[in-house]
Amino acid sequence: MDNVYNETTEPQAKPSRRPFGCTLRHLRGWRLPTKALQAILSLLAVICEEIVEDCIKCGGLYFFEFMSCSAFLLSLLILCVYCTDVYETFGEDKVQTV
């Protein structure tokens, strides 16, 4: 028996895939170098903190370690979200909310 029903929708064209889904569309101009510099400097702060072997009052040093490590991880997260397809996947509203 012949197929009586025809397709009513056109197949969607697949979007062109970029290598690793990378795009610089959302971080243009001075924003990308600033975020990259932030990640590099916060990683440098973590490394410098790990060099310290002895301290008398270590509370401030531990707080500095926590803050610099958090800054490094958050700046990497921001770079990953804005420079990959994650931004389009979740949508601008959800990314701005987070």
Per-residue pLDDT of the chain (98 residues; tens, 9 = 90+): 566 666 666 666 666 565 556 777 777 788 888 888 999 999 999 999 889 888 888 899 999 999 999 999 999 988 888 888 777 788 778 877 87
Predicted confidence at residue 26, as pLDDT, reads: 73
CA distances (Å), 92 to each of 1, 33, 51, 81, 95, in order?
A: 49, 22, 40, 11, 5
33 in helix, strand or coil? helix
pLDDT at 88 (0 to 100): 78
Classify residue 91 as exposed, middle or buried by CB count within 10 Å of its CB (0-12, 13-18, 19+). exposed
Q: pTM for the complete prediction?
A: 0.69
Burial (CB < 10 A; 0-12, 13-18, 19+), residue 72, is buried
Q: Return the pLDDT at 7.
A: 66
Question: Do the Cβ atoms of 81 and 62 come closer than 8 Å?
Answer: no
